[in-house]
């Protein structure tokens, strides 16, 4: 007899899980029972629920072994065992059989190439970018005093009390200073009283303002990065740094953070913010830094100093126009 | 000092003249004449030679902004105007029947110039009706082996015109 429990599942998912366990019968080698009051043989963790992930992180290894990450398609989940939402009997049976056969299998990176998975278990959420990256379904409300942002992942839109630069400034506050509400706990005013905007504008700003120098889980510090297109900047005019990174990262060959820093002179803090923003908006392609670069391109010829000087003067002139 | 030129092209009515007027330090030189063909339904006047504006850099050097005539029958002017140009801005009027084909036509006609320099695509009038998604423009660029910025802009706004030029400069320096 084996025991299964869960952390962070919605009431509906928990009901479905218990029903499926009851119905498994002879389809697994051992009899499985849902219990949360004994030492369990498997634990289903809702990876999209950041509070559940934080709680899971505090549990001893004996409880965390054989954790099954249950999530939407979040790239880079670093668990050997995963279940995609919604819960399906066949998938559950397969993963339980695997636990029966390989009870001690260590969590390791799943076989996925893009973006490269982290080999670390999910860490506690420390940045707003990480919080939003892990929240891939339903409603998320971020409150800071009387200011707030509501993100609706289902409908791919957001609403906020702020506008433009003010929103960017709000999102730059440390994550710990926000009050976070998720799912059914987010009470919305009646339809029609809120103005909803495309979520990409918010996701871009969250990456840009709410990264605090930390890559979101699943992105390797030593990885290689490029973007598939220029981002839609939405609410806030891009800085020169952002335009520089857009140009560099749309090159055919992916670049490491160190290469980008070396060529552009942009601080790593800003590069990480850009990479997170690109990841959140779905335009990032990441490769493992361990993978050999296909064909190292010939180095781009250095621009003559005169040319660089001209570009700098044009930028300066246009900056004056904006001011 | 060498002459620095930024070329702005695009479909008739996309706002090339407006873009130059939005950012030029001097009243733009215009060569408009009354439209007499099918374009008369869209606009009363159109550019037949070029529009011209300028920006002065901190050391007194000038950046000249040249707007080409939009109609393809003035293609011969395009070749003349791009000579020595820094790069190209293509304005695409998204209310037209096939904006992606419009973009392709200009990229074809300026292919040699674009290959040597670079281009920024400015999508205008995106809010008027159903238009292709921005990703569709990127896909069309990708099919040509190109990766240029595609920006949604309002050419009446100085900041948006400035952004296109800044994106072009970044592209030329770092891409």
Q: Spell out the SS3 assignment of A26-51.
A: HHCCCCEEECCCCCCCEEEEECCCHH
Would the CB atoms of A230 and B167 count as touching at under 8 Å? yes
Mean residue pLDDT of chain A comes to: 83
Any CB–CB contact under 8 A between A253 and chain B? Answer: no
Contact criterion met (CB below 8 Å) for B149 and B90: no
Residue A68 lies in a domain: yes
Dist CA B77 CA A53 (whole Å)? 63
pLDDT at B64 > cutoff 60:
yes
Residue of chain A minimizing CA distance to B171: A247
- Give the whole-angstrom CA distance, residue A259 versus residue A111: 26
* Residue A108: pLDDT over 60: no
Name which of B63, B159, B174 is nearest A322 (Cβ-Cβ).
B159
Identity of the residue in A244, A307, A317 whose CB atom sits nearest the CB atom of B55: A317
Residue range A309-319, pLDDT digits in tens = 899 999 999 98
Say whether B43 sits in a helix, a strand or coil: coil
Contact status, residue B170 vs residue A244, Cβ threshold 8 Å: yes
Ranking A71-80, B99-108, B141-150, B155-164 by mean pLDDT, the lowest is A71-80
Residue A195 resides in a domain: yes
Residue A130, C-beta contacts closer than 8 angstroms, at least 6 positions apart: A50, A123, A175, A214, A216, A217
In this structure, are residues B32 and B46 in contact, taking their beta carbons and an 8 Å threshold?
yes
Name the CA dihedral angle for A33, A37, A40, A44, rounded to a multiple of 10 degrees.
80
The answer to whether residue B159 neighbours chain A at the CB level (below 8 Å) is yes
The predicted-structure confidence for A215-261, as pLDDT tens digits, reads as follows: 999 999 999 999 999 999 878 889 999 999 999 999 988 999 999 99
Question: If pLDDT is split at 50, 70 and 90, which confidence band does B129 have?
Answer: low
Instruction: Tell me the pairing of strands A197-198 and A42-46.
Output: unpaired
Q: Encode pLDDT of B1-19 as tens digits.
A: 567 999 999 988 899 999 9
Residues A92 and A146 in one domain: no
Clarify whether residues A77 and A146 are in a common domain: no
Name every residue whose Cβ is closer than 8 Å to that of residue A66 and which is 6 or more positions away in sequence: A41, A42, A43, A81, A99, A103, A105
What does the pLDDT read at residue B37? 62
How many domains in chain A? 2
Residues B169, A232: C-beta atoms closer than 8 Å: no
Tell me what percent of the residues of chain A surpass a pLDDT of 70: 84
Model pLDDT for residues A78-90, shown as the tens digit of each residue:
667 888 888 888 7
Which residues lie closer than 8 Å to A219 by C-beta, 6 or more apart?
Answer: A76, A115, A116, A118, A275, A276, A279, A286
pLDDT, tens only, A267-292: 999 999 999 999 999 999 998 876 55
Domain count, chain B: 1
The per-residue pLDDT for B101 is 96
Print the domain residue range for A45. Answer: 2-101
DSSP B34: E
Residue A88 touches partner B, C-beta closer than 8 Å: no
Give the model's pLDDT for residue B40. 61
CB spacing of A238 vs B163 below 8 angstroms: yes
The answer to whether residue A48 sits within a structural domain is yes
Q: Considering the domain boundaries, does residue A6 fall inside one?
A: yes
The mean pLDDT of A128-137, rounded to a whole number, is: 92
CATH number, domain of B98, equals 3.40.50.300
pLDDT band per the 50, 70, 90 thresholds, residue B33: low
Strands (E), chain A: 2-7, 32-34, 42-46, 67-71, 82-84, 139-144, 147-152, 157-160, 179-182, 197-198, 224-227, 255-256, 284-287
Model confidence at B146, pLDDT cuts 50, 70, 90, reads very high
- Facing B169 at nearest CB: one of A232, A248, A314: A314
Report how far residue B85's alpha carbon sits from residue B7's, in angstroms, rounded to the nearest whole number.
7
Q: What is the 3-state secondary structure (H, E, C) of A49-67?
A: CHHHHHHHHCCCHHHHCCE
The pLDDT-based confidence of A118 (bands split at 50, 70, 90) is very low
Residue A226: the pLDDT is 95
Residue of B nearest to A312 (CA): B169
Nearest residue of B to residue A241, measured between CA atoms: B170
| CATH (domain of A38) | 3.40.50.2300
pLDDT at B127: 78
Query: How far B11 CA lies from chain A's nearest CA (Å)?
Result: 23
CA angle A319, A323, B3 (to 5 degrees): 35
Q: Which of A140-144, B37-41, B169-173 has the lowest mean pLDDT?
A: B37-41
Q: Is residue A190 part of a domain?
A: yes
Residue A286 dihedral angles phi and psi, to the nearest 5°? -120, 140
Q: Is residue A289 part of a domain?
A: no
| Domain that residue B120 falls in | 4-174
A146-162 in b/e form (b: 16+ CB < 10 A) is ebbbbbbbeeebbbbeb
Measure B28 CA to nearest chain A CA, in Å: 17
Check residue B125 and give left, alpha or beta (phi > 0: left; psi -120 to 50: alpha).
left
How far apart, in whole angstroms, are the C-alpha atoms of residue A68 and residue A55? 15
- List Cα–Cα distances, B13 to B73, B129, B155, in angstroms: 15, 16, 11
User: Nearest Cβ partner of A244 from B61, B162, B174?
Assistant: B174
Nearest by CB to A310, from B4, B152, B162: name it.
B4
């Amino acid at each position: 007899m084996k025991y299964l429990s869960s952390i962070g599942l919605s009431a509906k998912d928990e009901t479905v899980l218990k029903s499926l366990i009851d119905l498994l019968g002879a389809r697994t080698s051992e009899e499985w029972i849902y219990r949360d009051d004994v030492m369990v043989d498997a634990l289903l963790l809702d990876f999209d629920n950041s509070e559940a992930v934080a709680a899971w992180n505090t549990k001893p290894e004996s409880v965390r072994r054989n954790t099954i990450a249950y999530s939407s398609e979040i790239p880079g989940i670093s668990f050997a065992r995963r279940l995609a939402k919604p819960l399906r009997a066949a998938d559950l049976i397969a993963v339980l059989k695997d636990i029966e056969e390989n009870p001690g299998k260590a969590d390791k990176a799943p076989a996925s190439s893009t973006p490269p998975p982290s080999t670390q278990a999910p860490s506690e959420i420390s940045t707003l970018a990480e919080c939003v990256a892990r929240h891939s379904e339903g409603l998320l409300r971020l409150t800071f005093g009387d200011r707030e942002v509501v993100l609706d992942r289902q409908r791919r839109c957001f609403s906020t009390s702020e506008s433009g630069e003010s929103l960017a400034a709000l999102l730059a506050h440390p994550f710990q200073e926000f009050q976070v509400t998720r799912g059914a706990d987010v009470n919305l005013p009646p339809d029609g009283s809120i103005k909803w905007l495309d979520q990409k504008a918010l996701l871009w700003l969250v990456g840009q303002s709410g990264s605090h120098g930390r890559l979101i889980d699943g992105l390797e510090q030593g990885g290689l990065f490029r973007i598939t297109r220029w981002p839609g900047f939405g609410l806030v005019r891009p800085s020169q740094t952002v335009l520089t990174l857009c140009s560099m990262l749309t090159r055919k060959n992916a670049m490491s953070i160190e290469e980008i820093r070396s060529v552009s002179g942009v601080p790593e803090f800003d590069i990480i913010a850009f990479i997170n923003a690109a990841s959140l908006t779905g335009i990032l392609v990441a490769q493992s830094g361990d993978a050999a670069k296909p064909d190292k391109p010939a180095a781009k010829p250095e621009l003559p100093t005169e040319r660089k000087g001209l570009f700098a003067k044009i930028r300066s002139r246009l900056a004056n126009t904006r001011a | 000092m060498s002459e620095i030129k930024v070329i702005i092209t695009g479909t008739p009515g996309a706002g090339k003249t407006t873009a130059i007027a939005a950012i030029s330090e001097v009243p733009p030189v215009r060569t408009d004449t009354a439209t007499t063909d099918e374009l008369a339904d869209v606009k009363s006047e159109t550019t037949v030679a070029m529009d011209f504006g300028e920006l002065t850099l901190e050391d007194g050097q000038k950046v000249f902004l040249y707007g080409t005539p939009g109609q393809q029958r003035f293609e011969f002017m395009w070749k003349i105007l791009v000579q020595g140009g820094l790069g190209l801005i293509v304005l695409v009027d998204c209310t037209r029947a096939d904006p992606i084909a419009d973009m392709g036509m200009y990229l074809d006609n300026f292919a040699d110039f674009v290959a040597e320099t670079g281009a920024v695509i400015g999508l205008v009038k995106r809010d008027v009706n159903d238009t292709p998604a921005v990703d569709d423009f990127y896909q069309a660029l990708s099919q040509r082996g190109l990766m240029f910025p595609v920006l949604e802009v309002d050419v009446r706004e100085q900041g948006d015109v400035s952004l296109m030029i800044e994106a072009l400069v970044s592209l030329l320096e770092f891409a």
